[in-house]
Amino acid sequence: MFVLLIGLSGCYPLPAELPPTETPTLTPSLTPTPVWFPATATPTPLPTPLRSPTPDMRPSVGDVLLENAFESETAWHTYTGTIGKISFIDDHINLAINQPSGMIYAFRESTNFADVYAEITAKVNLCGGSDEYGLMLRVTSPRIDHYRIALTCSGEVKVVRVYGGRSVVLHPAESFPEVPVGFPGESVLGVWAANGELRIFLNGLFLFSVSDPVISEGAIGVYVRTSGDDPISVNFSQLEVRGLVE
């Protein structure tokens, strides 16, 4: 029987070889790389705004009507009272007060200006507190009506009209960094006057304007005024008056 089994086993086919089992290949999932510095959109540049030109605040300035004004002392009417002194030296005029609460002035006689641009250099020698100095414009006698463009020793500018013995403040004292405080100090004060308007300049810079039609013409002058006990001394030079062209 053993032999029979061997014979029978030879009649059956051998079992087929099983195919190898494939190990599936895992596709690695991609981890996104962080972007530490993302691109920033470039903004579209805005057009550069065009600057409007600064309007000319001194239009129509024409020929010189008066210069070297302090060469002749006899051309000036002066008032000092008993409190001050006025001196003419080398085409300069110096006004000084050594007593409290007073005013002295000088104006150019035999001149009568209406619409002009006037400019003068003021050099402060002694000055303090609310004492003031500056230009007198459109001076008329005998009442000495005038406009007073004042620089104060505390760094302010104001405009006063004196008419019929009364003073009216047209522009109250206003501080400007260009005004010297105390002494020493030097500045160029300018006034453009046309019709009833006064435009005030300092060192070529326009400060402000006032409108007042009361006094239409007159002479030009300078003054100093004290309101306290401090003395004041101011030297004026390079006065120039130019006409306005229509």
Concatenated DSSP letters of 23-81: PPPP-PPPPPPP-SSPPPPPPPPPPPPPPPPPP-SSTTEEEEEE-STTS-GGGEEEE-T
Taking only the tens place, the pLDDT of each residue in 16-38 is: 454 555 545 555 555 555 544 45
**Which one of 1.10.8.420, 3.40.50.410, 3.40.50.300, 2.60.120.560 gives the CATH number of domain 61-244?**
2.60.120.560
Taking only the tens place, the pLDDT of each residue in 113-130 is: 999 999 999 999 999 888
> pTM for this structure?
0.77
Delimit the domains of the chain by residue range: 61-244
